Amino acid sequence: MLSVINICKNVHINALLVQQIRYKSKTHWAKLKKKTSPKYKAQNHFDEFYGSVFGGKWPPMKETMLRRSKFVAVVNNYGDSEETIDFLTERGAHCLKALMSVQQEFHKQYPPTPTQSDTNTTSLEQYTAKVQFDDISSIYPQDNLPEKLELSDMTIRSSEEEKEVEKQPLKNLTLEESLASAQMDMSRIIDPSMGVTSEALYQYVPATQLKGMDEWVPESLHYSYYAQDKDFPLAIEPETEFSFPEHLKVYTYEMGSEWNMFPEPKRCKTNVMNYYPMDCGSVLAVLALCLSPGDRVLDLCSAPGGKALVALQTLLPDVIVCNDSSISRTNRISRIFRDYLIDFDTSNSWRERVVISTRDGREFTDDIGFDKVLVDAPCTTDRRTINQDANLVYHLARVQDRLSLPDVQPYLLTNALKLVRVGGAVVYSTCSLSPVQNDGVVHMALKHAFETHGVIATVKDLSAPFANLAGTLSLAAGSIAPRYGQLVTPTNDANFGPSYIARLVRVK
């Protein structure tokens, strides 16, 4: 009996000790646990990377992205379009085309002052060197590293050593003499007691040599892909063919009217939805295609189908091919089209105009060619990633998807440049702020397309036509502006994006 009482006392004392330990910290244990979820991992990564790229402009961007995003309403021309326009106008929304026309007249009277664009090359190089140095420091024994080693010292020291070697005269030594004078590099020996994880070793073992990791790209190498070498034909010209499609009706609220949100779409008399809500940056990707009547269009990464739907709302394409790599995602495209296109499943005219395919965009082939190709590439989806935990690239179950992104994006764009006809245009877009996934991918694809397939494309500068959006959204300018495309940055007054849009025209 006494032993049972003693056991109960010990259990009670242990419970009190656990409770004291739990509440010893000022932060509740449940909140500490939440900080390790995928969205917080993404936030920490973005704080470090985007903080180095955008500097003081990143914190307000992040704060805005953590808030509810803003949308525009794309009126469905296959529904009661006039009634829908009246409904939106009564709620205080304005026509995007009209707003751009007003800005265009304003710019004619007061031309904007040109700003010098800086592609953040220096900051990215410094960040790349820091990531690589931190990785090495975390893996190799600290005893073999200097107590204080600046990143700049590493570069300077290596160059000085090379010069010293060049100054030394060459001596013909025998094999025995060479072995006797050789020094073993002990700094690359990993001490097993350090507890190095396999995840860390991925940074240094070639991905192709790891079983089951054929498509992995070491994360520490992502930033080195942002190269600026020009050993291939590269030209950047102003865009002169841009025009807003006559039949495309997009409505938005004024800047600063963040809380004027559109209600849920409703069914029209024709049994289709009256409008499609989407981010304004997504609309810009379709506008950048500069669609013409009779175009044959390919949407290479189409799901969920919003951009393809906007292209159809222009009433310009003759044929549009909507492709995605998985059946579940192409099923989402079909559902969107059934909601917005009359008799989509039964009409023969839709079957001739809209083709849905399920293929890997990197291996998509076509014998006819396309006039316009849209590559809305898979990316880190920055806004969703820092707000959600489920099924996103920073989730533990999707580590491979995240690490393979730099190996997927440029090859999608390269294949698009092959598929488009000479004189046709390719638009590359993401919903990421990353210069590596944006300008970096465009640069890599242009280089790879030329070296591998002999394809030459010109980058079209959309600064002039997109300047007419100044009263609607915020575009990156000055030191944070990309070199090849346009970057929609979230702000308190216009919480759209992030979105990156680049237009390439094939010339050979």
Q: What is the pLDDT of residues 101-111, one digit of tens each?
A: 998 887 666 66
pLDDT at 365 exceeding the cut of 90: yes
pLDDT at 162 exceeding the cut of 90: no
pLDDT at 179 exceeding the cut of 90: no
Q: Which residue has the higher pLDDT, 314 or 29?
A: 314
The amino acid that residue 299 corresponds to is: D
How confident is residue 406, by pLDDT bands cut at 50, 70 and 90?
confident
> Any idea of the CA torsion for 224, 228, 229, 234, to the nearest 10 degrees?
140
For 53-71, how does the pLDDT look when each residue is reduced to its tens digit (9 = 90+)? 999 999 999 999 999 999 9
Q: Is the dihedral of CA 280, 284, 286, 290 positive or negative?
A: positive
pLDDT average, residue stretch 469-480: 92
pLDDT at 475 exceeding the cut of 50: yes
Least confident of 223-237, 428-442, 488-502: 223-237
- Res 184: pLDDT: 53
- Res 432: pLDDT: 95
Tell me how far apart the alpha carbons of residues 125 and 132 are, in angstroms, rounded to a whole number.
11
Please check whether residue 300 is in contact with residue 409, taking contact to mean a CB–CB distance below 8 angstroms: no
- Res 207: pLDDT: 43
- Res 232: pLDDT: 84
- Res 314: pLDDT: 97
pLDDT at 149 exceeding the cut of 50: no
Q: Which residue has the higher pLDDT, 52 or 404?
A: 52
Name which of 312, 351, 332 is nearest 79 in CA terms.
312
Helix (H) or strand (E) holding 443, with range, is helix 441-453
> Any idea of the CA torsion for 56, 58, 61, 65, to the nearest 10 degrees?
-150
Least confident of 169-173, 201-205, 376-380: 201-205
Query: What proportion of the chain, given as a percentage, has pLDDT over 70?
Result: 66
pLDDT at 186 exceeding the cut of 60: no
Helix (H, G, I), strand (E, B) or coil at 372: strand
Least confident of 13-22, 228-237, 357-366, 470-479: 13-22
- Res 233: pLDDT: 87
* Mean pLDDT estimate for the chain: 80
Tell me how far apart the alpha carbons of residues 393 and 453 are, in angstroms, rounded to a whole number.
31
- Res 196: pLDDT: 41
- Cβ atoms within 10 Å of 249's Cβ, excluding its own: 22
Which active-site residues does the annotation give? 431
pLDDT at 18 exceeding the cut of 90: no
Question: Burial letters for 261-270: b for 16+ Cβ neighbours within 10 Å, e otherwise?
Answer: ebeebeebee
Least confident of 6-10, 158-162, 418-422, 501-505: 158-162
- Res 446: pLDDT: 95
- Res 128: pLDDT: 63
- Res 228: pLDDT: 62
pLDDT at 72 exceeding the cut of 60: yes
pLDDT at 445 exceeding the cut of 50: yes
Return the bridge partners of 296, or none. Answer: 319
Tell me how far apart the alpha carbons of residues 131 and 135 are, in angstroms, rounded to a whole number.
6
Name which of 349, 325, 326 is nearest 337 in CA terms.
349
C-alpha distances (whole Å) from 136 to each of 132, 141, 145, 229, 244 are 6, 9, 10, 26, 51
- Res 159: pLDDT: 46
- Res 211: pLDDT: 45
How confident is residue 2, by pLDDT bands cut at 50, 70 and 90?
very low
Domains and CATH numbers, the chain: 60-119+232-506 (3.40.50.150)
pLDDT at 348 exceeding the cut of 60: yes
pLDDT average, residue stretch 369-373: 97
Bridging pattern class, strands 72-75 and 275-278? antiparallel
- Res 437: pLDDT: 93
Please check whether residue 490 is in contact with residue 279, taking contact to mean a CB–CB distance below 8 angstroms: no
Q: Which residue has the higher pLDDT, 481 or 259?
A: 481
pLDDT average, residue stretch 471-491: 94
Return the bridge partners of 276, or none. Answer: 74
- Res 158: pLDDT: 44
